[in-house]
Chain A
């Protein structure tokens, strides 16, 4: 079946064009690129270029669009980004989770105690299994705390705002009690790699492998998706549109690889590394690429897994059905209470994973770790188009939202704005973003 017979009932019509649509609108429709995704990427690029230009013109040095800054930006965004993917599901089901920052802090402290005080007693200091046991225990702990919150919401029928507000205070206090307010340091050396840093990155070759695998997966996805649509006689994109999507996505991946590989290790680390491995440092210095930092790889894996979960599985379908109409979901045989517990358990586990990244990055677990993170996580999800009314939200949007917030903060630091100014700007952008998104959505109805 071809798409020319748009009047044929068995074949859905090709996207219809209005006569007054511009060339760009038609381009978006044919390539099926989500205009909101494009809008968010555009806003992000605008912020980046804006800060860079401001630095270049006013301070005489554009520090934003450098491999070093963008690499650091990616690492700094990971922790919030990981939690934001879970917050999307929570908010989509018309709930909220204010406790993620405290769960992060509590799990990080428990993991700190476990790997610094407890496990070395039995396994010996620096045992290779320490970090694995620590991470697994931390994730289970986070999931249990989340499930407990979920159970209070689902079965005790306490509003999620209240349950997680309690959680915000309770788990922060518990974190203090566990370590008597002390900072636990240094964490296990393998565990510390999960937080990034020169050693906590996969290097140039590793990054190329990751990048090429990603490209292969994208191409396979496009080809198999097309074949499947053809099998059922659905409308398929013209070949040029498929090619455009392939070039854009693979191009971004390759660009990211080139970027992270362009950021070399600092001189001190190179000298240290060369001395430790008996390498002679040549005259011009040794160029060792960072490559992708492990935290950003964790974020990417989480983002992919959560996207599949949200869009391709029954679980995800039920999350959105509950958000759209809880009564209808229950009448369709969905166990809304059990779903609430699962969603909060997942959120708790992601908060614990962020705790791994955040404490590994500092190589220590402090009592204040993750404080106010809940606000940034919720803001990231909302900037990314998640509606507090429920039923609407995307994983990629939340991650882009996290990048937008982190970019604003980093950018203002680079051009020399103080903390007060940063808070004012980030706060204003939150409302502005939701306003623009609402306007856009209303205009499409």
Chain B
């Protein structure tokens, strides 16, 4: 799957960004292949979310290059990222709580008729279809999303990424707020999307979950990349020591 003859979906090359003297991401490189799940691990403040937000257009990098499908890409806004079929599920979900599920699903990409009016009925019908697939118990289509449970809100955020045919999916702690049943549903969804050939960046603190879902894991500490390993080649303890000590035990041993 990580066959080097295949063009990587995403290549991040020497990405750096600083916020007022703090080097949040320091010359980090990372690749993602089609049908692959790459996990990003590290302490809070290690720079995982910042790195991912550069790819999703929320932040603009200070230096480095982003290559998508073998072509150099300029991503300066969330819109640019969407144009490259990059979809992001943020840790905070990034939902407008006062709007209903359909309005959130289509936010920024509303379907309008020839008079420039938002086609609410079409959007609601499409939302109903995709929610029936992702979360069959989802009923509260007319309510503002503030009235939904954590799992339901999560499924709205996921639906937004899935509906628009993402090629590259970024999931920032998608299961942090979920119960056991819903976590399993997200895991199944990740496997399904992976089988469809999507590339997925997954951020999580749950090492065991990462070992199960990811093909490769990358560990960051203090803005630097400690190492990227195939999950078959490392133990959970190896990863933990990378996270905590900031050292790659395999490399140290070699």
Within 8 Å of chain B (Cβ to Cβ): is A239? no
Complex: A313 Cα to B118 Cα, angstroms: 5
Query: Are B108 and A232 touching (Cβ within 8 A)?
Result: no
Chain A: interface size category: 20 to 34
Q: Choose among B78, B88, B116, B124 the residue that contacts A330 (Cβ–Cβ < 8 A).
A: B78
Interface residue ranges of A303-354 to B (CB < 8 Å): 308, 312-314, 317-318, 320-321, 323-325, 327-334
Within 8 Å of chain A (Cβ to Cβ): is B20? no
Q: Which residues of B contact A329 (CB under 8 A)?
A: 96, 107-108
With A313-B117, A317-B118 in contact, is A391–B128 under 8 Å at CB? no
With A312-B117, A313-B117 in contact, is A333–B124 under 8 Å at CB? no
Complex: A325 Cα to B145 Cα, angstroms: 12
Q: Choose among B56, B88, B117, B136 the residue that contacts A9 (Cβ–Cβ < 8 A).
A: B136
The proximity string for B residues 114-142 relative to A, scoring 1 for CB distances below 8 Å and 0 otherwise, is 00111011101100100010001001011
Chain B: interface size category: 35 or more
Complex: A233 Cα to B125 Cα, angstroms: 8
Query: Are A391 and B82 touching (Cβ within 8 A)?
Result: no
With A12-B128, A321-B96 in contact, is A232–B118 under 8 Å at CB? no
The DSSP consensus for interface residues of chain B is: loop
Complex: A9 Cα to B112 Cα, angstroms: 26
B21-29, B31-39, B97-105, B196-204: which lies at the interface = B97-105
Query: Are A232 and B116 touching (Cβ within 8 A)?
Result: no
Within 8 Å of chain A (Cβ to Cβ): is B165? no
Complex: A317 Cα to B120 Cα, angstroms: 11
With A234-B121, A331-B58, A332-B78 in contact, is A314–B94 under 8 Å at CB? no
Complex: A312 Cα to B121 Cα, angstroms: 11
Query: Are A392 and B98 touching (Cβ within 8 A)?
Result: yes
Query: Can you give 28 contacting A-B residue pairs, CB < 8 Å?
Result: A9-B136, A10-B132, A12-B128, A12-B139, A12-B142, A231-B121, A233-B125, A234-B124, A308-B117, A312-B118, A313-B116, A313-B118, A314-B110, A314-B118, A317-B110, A320-B96, A321-B99, A321-B103, A323-B98, A325-B96, A328-B92, A328-B94, A329-B96, A329-B108, A332-B108, A334-B107, A391-B96, A391-B97
B residues at A contact (CB < 8 Å)? 56, 58, 77-79, 82, 88, 90, 92-99, 103, 107-110, 112, 116-118, 120-122, 124-125, 128, 132, 136, 139, 141-142, 147
